[in-house]
Amino acid sequence: MKKQPVRIAIWGFGAMGSGMAKMILNKQGFDIVGVVDTYEGFVGKSIFSFLNTQNPYTHDVFIERNIDRILLEESVDLVLLATDSFTKKAFPKIKQIIESGVNVISTAEEMAFPMAKEPELSKEMDYLAKKHNATILGTGVNPGMMMDLLAICISGVMSDVENMKISRINSLSPFGPTVMEEQGVGLTKQSFEDKMAHGEISGHVGFIESTHMIANALGLKVQSFEQNMAPIITSVDRKSKYGFAKANDVAGVDMRSHAILSNQTKIDMIHPQQIEPEMEGTQTGDYIQIEGTPAIHLSNVPEVEGGIGTIAICVNMIPHVINAKPGLKTMIDLPVPRAIMGDVRTMIDEEE
Ligand code: NAD
């Protein structure tokens, strides 16, 4: 058991980073020792006034513009990095953290299985992490759990896995302006199609990472992979906190992928995401169907909400990342995720 509190820094204080801070403040055995965000409206502010919560510590935490001082002076155990979606963009930040000998958990979707799209950067991250005695993990609700790890875990009670169909029908309503823009919410169909043709609609990032994670866990390779996206057109006006789509415009994106693995197993992923799905009778949910012995049909209705799911899994993986051997890890390398309900220090193997 670790005697001192687990010292956490948070890099990126948006919806995910600030949510992680709130969760950590309600847990025992943690100490938030630094927060970084470049947004001018945040810099210099106390996180406690920002979160409108009491300060349980004997020190304040002011949001800083860069992480240099924190890595140098605060003996950080782990950085929660919540700034990016893509490995290439997260890489320089991850590099700086691990070169300081500090562990990192990234919310970047591609970091959930970075070997899928960035094999060279993955090798470099693994090399640097081992050299500097640090551990790197990418995780989140999806990719990271609902469309990959959960299917992998349940395959543990199967003697034979055949085709998989994994669906996540979710609501975009809790998300902010960045997500609305990335998903094309509120655009006309024509403008969505124009932007899609120019690669300006990101849709869901993560199918290829989830597919590779599953294949790797099953001891197989991905032989072919394709994905596509289509606009979800609403027939009624829909309004969420940050999004608005009028009738006949785009309320979200329907993403699909199809992969064939080296033994001809097929993995299909279905992920329609939109604001206010209930307005047209769409019920959110997570579904995993695996053919094989025995066949598995898991269903969770409504969906695990993406925001809290990501915040929780990142915080809950902190002790496992601190305990892990150095290197680049994925969710299939670390112990089973679980909610931290007691003092986190009891989950840390030993004082470093
Ligand atoms: P957000 O836009 O609300 O917050 C990001 C914050 O990072 C902003 O406050 C921004 O100012 C700050 N930031 C960006 N670049 C920075 C830099 N170089 N230095 C310091 N601060 C910087 O986004 P969010 O909802 O918090 O999500 C964060 C990332 O995590 C997104 O890319 C999102 O797609 C991803 N994500 C992944 C999952 C998953 O399941 N894997 C789930 C949720 C979010």
Locate CATH 3.40.50.720 in the chain: 6-140+308-347
pLDDT exceeds cutoff 60 at 344: yes
Is 2:348 a contact under the CB 8 Å cutoff?
A: yes
Say which CATH architecture domain 6-140+308-347 belongs to.
3-Layer(aba) Sandwich (3.40)
Nearest atom (ligand 1) to Cα of 84? 32
Query: Which helix (H) or strand (E) covers residue 93, if one does?
Result: helix 87-99
- Residue 144 CB less than 6 A away from ligand 1: yes
Between the alpha carbon of residue 297 and those of residues 150, 198, 293, 294, the distances in Å are 12, 38, 12, 10
**Three-class SS of residue 210?**
helix
Per-residue pLDDT, 351: 60
Between 179 and 184, where is the model more confident? 184
Nearest atom (ligand 1) to Cα of 82? 28
Over residues 210-247, the pLDDT tens digits come to: 999 999 999 999 999 999 999 999 999 999 988 999 99
Locate CATH 3.30.360 in the chain: 149-303
Over residues 135-155, the pLDDT tens digits come to: 999 999 999 999 999 999 999
pLDDT exceeds cutoff 60 at 352: no
Distance 87 CA to ligand 1 centre (A): 13
Query: Which helix (H) or strand (E) covers residue 146, if one does?
Result: none
Over residues 77-136, the pLDDT tens digits come to: 999 999 999 999 999 999 999 999 999 999 999 999 999 999 999 999 999 999 999 999
Over residues 259-272, the pLDDT tens digits come to: 999 999 999 999 99
Per-residue pLDDT, 225: 98
- Residue 174 CB less than 6 A away from ligand 1: no
Distance 108 CA to ligand 1 centre (A): 8
**Which of 10, 11, 13, 16 for mutating ligand 1's site (highest number of atoms within 8 Å of CB)?**
16
Mean pLDDT of 339-343: 98
Mean pLDDT of 35-62: 95
Nearest CA to ligand 1 atom 33: 85
Say which CATH architecture domain 149-303 belongs to.
2-Layer Sandwich (3.30)
pTM of the model: 0.96
What is the rounded CA–CA span in Å between residue 50 and residue 47? 5
Q: Residue 37, CB half-sphere, CA atoms under 13 Å: how many?
A: 24
**Token reading at 225:** 């992979």
Per-residue pLDDT, 182: 87
Whether omega for the bond prior to residue 277 falls within 30 degrees of 0, making it cis, is no
Per-residue pLDDT, 309: 95
Distance 14 CA to ligand 1 centre (A): 6
pLDDT exceeds cutoff 70 at 338: yes
- Residue 176 CB less than 6 A away from ligand 1: yes
List CB contacts of 284: < 8 A, sequence separation 6 or more: 169, 170, 171, 277, 278, 301, 302, 303
- Residue 66 CB less than 6 A away from ligand 1: no
- Residue 178 CB less than 6 A away from ligand 1: yes
pLDDT exceeds cutoff 90 at 1: no
Per-residue pLDDT, 350: 77
Nearest atom (ligand 1) to Cα of 139? 41
Per-residue pLDDT, 322: 98
Nearest CA to ligand 1 atom 1: 14
pLDDT exceeds cutoff 70 at 10: yes
Mean pLDDT of 35-63: 95
Bridge partners of residue 286, in order along the sequence: 168, 300
- Please, what is the average pLDDT of the chain? 96
Mean pLDDT of 341-350: 94
Distance 94 CA to ligand 1 centre (A): 14
**Which of 13, 107, 173 for mutating ligand 1's site (highest number of atoms within 8 Å of CB)?**
107
Nearest atom (ligand 1) to Cα of 65? 20
pLDDT exceeds cutoff 90 at 25: yes
Nearest CA to ligand 1 atom 14: 83
CB neighbours of residue 105 within 10 Å = 26
Nearest atom (ligand 1) to Cα of 86? 32
pLDDT band at 57 (very low <50, low <70, confident <90, very high): very high
Q: What angle do CA 111, 117, 119 make, to 5 degrees?
A: 90
- Residue 85 CB less than 6 A away from ligand 1: yes
pLDDT exceeds cutoff 70 at 188: yes
Distance 308 CA to ligand 1 centre (A): 14
